[in-house]
Structure 1
Amino acid sequence: MAYNGDVEYIPDENGIAEKVKCPLVDDWIEDIDCMENQEVIESAIPAKYKRKPNWKDICKKCPFRDY
């Protein structure tokens, strides 16, 4: 495992993130899950990603936002 900032990730053989420990849910996600959050449009984001009070800021600051 590796870190980008304080976000943990599992790299593939080329060092590219295969999975990221999403700071919104504190669990491992794949790139397709992250893409659901990239635009930070509240109505399009599953409820599990909006549980933390400052979820929009957390998402915007994540180094894997364009994952």
Structure 2
Amino acid sequence: MNRSAPLWRKSSYSGEDTSSNCVEVAVLSPLVGVRDSKDPDGPHLHLTRSAFAALLSQIKSGVR
């Protein structure tokens, strides 16, 4: 099993400004990690792939 550090990715919609409100995601097989890009050492969520897909669907549809 590969124990290397996860590769966190920020949305291409975030821009280059480090003060912008962004999240980063990483594949933490079998889970997906979500964290605040401004606080990479802070807490982060671990979601199943289906929960992450549901979250993205709600975000894209504008559900609050």
Does the TM-score normalized on the shorter chain lie above 0.5? no
Identify which of structures 1 and 2 has the higher relative contact order when contacts are C-alpha pairs closer than 8 Å and 6+ apart: 1
> Who wins on radius of gyration, i.e. which is larger?
2
Query: What TM-score do you get using the length of structure 2 for normalisation?
Result: 0.38
Answer 1 or 2: which has greater strand percent.
2
Query: What TM-score do you get using the length of structure 1 for normalisation?
Result: 0.37
